[in-house]
Amino acid sequence: MRAMVLEKIGQPLALRDLPKPKPGHGQLLVRVNTCAVCRTDLHIVDGELPNPKLPLILGHQIVGRVEQINQSVDGFSIGDRIGVPWLGWTDGECTYCRSDRENLCDRAKFTGYTIDGGYAEFTVADARYCFRLPDELFDVDLAAEAGLAEAAVAPLLCAGMLGYRSYWKTGDARRLGIYGFGNAAYLIAQVALYQQKEIFAFTRPGDKAGQDAARSLGAVWAGGSDEMPPERLGAAIIFAPVGALVPAALRALAKGGVVVCGGIHMSDIPSFPYVDLWNERVISSVANLTRRDGEEFLKIAARIPVKTKVKTFPLEQANTALEKFRAGKLDATAVLVT
């Protein structure tokens, strides 16, 4: 099979011809149709996330079909269309797993980080952590420009699911600030608007195009991250990996509000006066996702339906997609097509 392989941190991925993997106990062999590119992939390539498996096949927003089933697996059939997310395996035995917090499992394995992912024509995945993708996701026009339904669905597997967990942590806050109006924000804002929340969008200072896009989606206000919103926020989600946004978001909160840091990596948070945190304001991070998060999000995404914006690239152009992402030259989610 063809695969784009990270062989050394900081270097471009290499196109390699590798043996097709075989599914082990509890695993499925998946024929990858599409795999969306995530900012986490850049963090891995750039060495900002420690100890990745090397050599490594990146990619954790996979849409494909079941090609082969290990005899130990029940509940799947050849040809089933499934999604493979970031959380790829947990031990099921630790304190976290036994308390419905499997996303915190100390022994967890992650697709495209500690186990091979979807920048390839085939991958193997633990059947327990694969999502059956409802037909409704493919019956509606999620992204007409995608040209391929699987490409339009791929961003839901991380930007959507992890974004949904971040959104879930904001509770019933009516006024919701979103810092960093990229792929995850675009998806989760649609959920929030569907649930009649008010969206306040924060972009890079001077990013008029981004602010206009947020307003056209339905945001009641859009401005730079250096601005204060016209009203105090009940909650804020920070999707941009910029630690300095944490104290900025705290200052925009009403009493009792929460700032949710929705990324897996963030630059250092600068010091700030205690008064900005006082009055029962809260800072929370999000670590990975649970299967329950994914199942809930897929149901609501199909019901709304959540629209995606994608730009497709052939598998062998993965480096081009990553570089355009890094340089901020994409106004949509890059999706690799095998």
pLDDT for position 182: 85
| Predicted confidence (pLDDT) per residue in 164-185, tens digit | 999 999 999 999 999 998 889 9
Model confidence, pTM = 0.90
- Report the SS3 class of residue 281: coil
**What is the residue-averaged pLDDT of the chain?**
94
* Percent with pLDDT over 90 in the chain: 88
- pLDDT category at 137 given cuts 50, 70, 90 is confident
Contacts of 48 (CB under 8 A, 6+ apart): 265
* Percent with pLDDT over 70 in the chain: 97
- pLDDT category at 140 given cuts 50, 70, 90 is low
pLDDT for position 138: 77
Give CA angle at 182 (284, 119), nearest 5°.
95
Instruction: Please compute the mean of the pLDDT values over residues 191-210 and round it to a whole number.
Output: 95
Contacts of 40 (CB under 8 A, 6+ apart): 49, 60, 86, 112, 113, 158, 264, 265
- Rounded to 5 degrees, φ, ψ at 89 are -170, 145
pLDDT for position 142: 56
pLDDT of 87 > 90? The answer is yes
| Predicted confidence (pLDDT) per residue in 266-311, tens digit | 999 999 999 999 999 999 999 988 999 999 999 999 999 999 989 9
pLDDT for position 144: 47
